[in-house]
Structure 1
């Protein structure tokens, strides 16, 4: 059996779009499932729109998702001679011709307005203009795609124009370059969006004219919003860079992308090993996939909660140089903090009080508590200072808080607020007693004393 080879071939005109990321993932999984190869090709022949910044962003996006490609990246811009060679071969086979009609004069839209199809015009016109090369589309021929998602789909060639395959500047059009590239790379399976289906019909004609082996095609439904509208940039996060900035974990994003249009029984949480083992094309649905940000949030929360504390610490504080003492705070404190976070950015904010030194950056609620409970905080400094470090544990501290409550006739909630505000700077942190144990007596007293001296 021929080894499965798939590819992802983005145009570098921006960040890695969520739809493109899903296409890359599906191709990668299909190759891995069959012990095949997954290749990356950059379709950068559009000189006006292609940028190095976009190329870097696409590569970074794939690396962040841990979608690793085999072999070196292929750049279309470096293969112009090859496209010219194949185009000339089609001319020799009488399957293509030079066309001298100005590109801005004869357009597909203009032709369709007249109810006609553009075929074999301006072939021998004498002109100083540089010609394009057009592929001759057969007049009446059924074109059949045996799609692995939608089944057999048939159209007639009579509805298509003759196809421009080389522009007047000798750069290839998308429809043509893809055929040459996929053939040369030995691509066996092409998994791409259903918006490419019309291109596939045209490309099949070129494959046949060149006597190239035709790969298997699987066209996956597009991604829509929850309300059914098509996804566009105005709808917020549409590219992988945005989700990364939001604090989404790569594992959560892969799991989420996998479930956008593909399913395995009723499984929602699917790890990488399971995904590679289970992935197939039969389980891809035919209807558009719908973005569900609540589901992504749920998945991210799940993966954050199940991530090792040290790995999380190294991930969210990789830019910070932490002392061993603060690392120890985090390793203990993250267990409770990550239960409250759906995004890494949230977790980073929640964990600030473990790495800050006085003066802490108190939020507005904490400032108000400190202002109105200053006398209680002063009493707590004196009271807690008398507790020995050996007794600084949950059971003893809890009993001492009750003793403090009775001694000064102060409500328990007021006591805990008076501890939480100066020690953490926020009012929605986990249990304050647990935090006090992690920080230790000296650090807690230091933070309480600091607000009393302001």
Structure 2
């Protein structure tokens, strides 16, 4: 049997990290088994579905590099098919017209609750033929009245639901549009889906969908319900916990490899291994090793993974993702080091790509003033002589390499009989404007000779003015 999985989001908002994890698990299972992965957009909620949300889903899938073999399919383009199936169920006596008003259904449920019963539609029109004319109606599926539905869930284990617990759900609204449980069933059937991997908030839908599939004579797929993701407070992950949309993590400076690696471990494990390449995940992923219990989101762990990937992936690749943040923060990098070179010196010093841009402006832009605290501590009158000496040595260089720059700084310190601390910190503040940077030789090399000499001259002027003010 060829494995076919699907990811079927509703375009009513951004691509949630929970949805991304479901997509990832479905993608991995298809890739591991040499099967097929389908993307289906479930846009039948016409009031809430938006093109903006469709775009957000597609952008998220592209950013995560979860490629699909078929799709995207849109349910709104398949209404004729759904209507055919509803008509078939009606003709075969497996569905019926229900003329109950909303008020009547509400009343029967209130009465059931008052009697201590589970509220559900009572089948009032199930076997009636006295259909009124010119009266709106919905179409309900004739759910079996006895027996049980057995779900051999690949994650949660065996689940049994008595048909007596289920009511005759609506499969077509009064305006003729199909409902979620009908469209999902038809699409899974017609697309040959063999494995449905989705969040466990769908467990209650599964027995209903299995019964409709059985009524259609369709092969029933295997189900795997993934436990929900919780926030660090034990409650369902939501906006109050911070970013929950996939592209928000991109915007916050995370690499897709970090988010994918984090999400796969948020409910699945392979021994104690924490870091996985995509190829390793395809080889090792197994639904049997998914957790049955919910997992809690830990942003600190995600940050740790992001730092790992910033440091270990090819700098040129990381630089491609850095470009988005450069543009977002409106940093002109045309006059300065290549972004790949920036990644090499900054990756170990920051947590995110967004932060990398924030702390790297001095490589590309001149500044009008120095950080107040750093200048007060290091650009004192006593620093004027070593700064002037370094400026002189740097100006003499005929080649601007890290080795040459390092030698010039050492020579200046030795000529004055000073330790590197007396020279290094004033020089760092002079050329970067603040007190933090990568190693001085690399920092100066990337900033460039002319810019460094100009900034040192600016620092000497600052020290001179400071000394004059003190008199």
Q: TM-score, normalized by length of structure 2? A: 0.88
Matched, 1:326 2:336: yes
Q: Which runs of 5+ in 2 are unaligned?
A: 463-471
Which position in structure 1 is the counterpart of 2:354? 345
- 1:404 is displaced (CA, Å) by 3.2
| Pick aligned residue for 2:406 from 382, 388, 394 | 394
Paired with 2:442 and 2:215, the residues of 1 have a C-alpha distance of: 73
Map Cα deviations across residues 186-220 of structure 1 (whole Å, 9 max, x no partner).
11110011111110011111111111110111111
Contact 2:154 / 2:224 at 8 angstroms: preserved in 1? yes
Deviates more, 1:373-382 or 1:337-346: 373-382
Matched, 1:373 2:372: no
Which position in structure 1 is the counterpart of 2:122? 119
- 1:228 is displaced (CA, Å) by 2.0
Contact 1:247 / 1:344 at 8 angstroms: preserved in 2? yes
Deviates more, 1:124-133 or 1:135-144: 124-133
Paired with 2:340 and 2:215, the residues of 1 have a C-alpha distance of: 64
3-state secondary structure, aligned to 2:70: coil
Which position in structure 2 is the counterpart of 1:46? 45
Matched, 1:135 2:141: yes
Q: 1:383 to 1:46 in 2, by over 3 A?
A: closer
Paired with 2:122 and 2:261, the residues of 1 have a C-alpha distance of: 47
Map Cα deviations across residues 25-73 of structure 1 (whole Å, 9 max, x no partner).
0000100011111111111111111000000000100100000111231
3-state secondary structure, aligned to 2:223: strand
Paired with 2:405 and 2:26, the residues of 1 have a C-alpha distance of: 54
Which position in structure 2 is the counterpart of 1:254? 260
Deviates more, 1:107-116 or 1:6-15: 107-116
Which position in structure 2 is the counterpart of 1:308? 314
| Pick aligned residue for 1:205 from 211, 229, 237 | 211
Contact 1:111 / 1:117 at 8 angstroms: preserved in 2? no
Paired with 1:14 and 1:110, the residues of 2 have a C-alpha distance of: 33
Paired with 1:321 and 1:353, the residues of 2 have a C-alpha distance of: 11
Which position in structure 2 is the counterpart of 1:317? 323
Contact 2:393 / 2:412 at 8 angstroms: preserved in 1? no
3-state secondary structure, aligned to 1:247: coil
Kindly report which structure 2 residues correspond to 1:12-411, keeping only aligned pairs within 5 A, or say none.
12-103=11-102, 105-107=104-106, 110=110, 112-114=112-114, 115=117, 117-122=120-125, 123=128, 124-126=130-132, 128-317=134-323, 319=327, 322-323=333-334, 326-328=336-338, 330-356=339-365, 358-359=366-367, 362-369=370-377, 373=380, 376-377=383-384, 380-381=387-388, 383-387=390-394, 388-390=396-398, 392-404=404-416, 406=418
3-state secondary structure, aligned to 1:389: coil
3-state secondary structure, aligned to 1:191: strand
Deviates more, 1:427-436 or 1:260-269: 427-436
Aligned-residue Cα RMSD (Å) equals 2.3
3-state secondary structure, aligned to 2:455: helix
Map Cα deviations across residues 233-290 of structure 1 (whole Å, 9 max, x no partner).
2221111021111111011111111111011111100000000111111111111111
Paired with 1:288 and 1:112, the residues of 2 have a C-alpha distance of: 33
Paired with 1:361 and 1:61, the residues of 2 have a C-alpha distance of: 40
Map Cα deviations across residues 391-432 of structure 1 (whole Å, 9 max, x no partner).
8332442242243354xxxx7545333211221122121222
3-state secondary structure, aligned to 2:19: helix
Matched, 1:444 2:452: yes
Paired with 2:363 and 2:206, the residues of 1 have a C-alpha distance of: 56
Q: Which runs of 5+ in 1 are unaligned?
A: none
Q: 1:361 to 1:203 in 2, by over 3 A?
A: farther
Matched, 1:431 2:448: no
Paired with 2:303 and 2:109, the residues of 1 have a C-alpha distance of: 43
Q: 1:389 to 1:139 in 2, by over 3 A?
A: same
Q: 1:423 to 1:383 in 2, by over 3 A?
A: closer
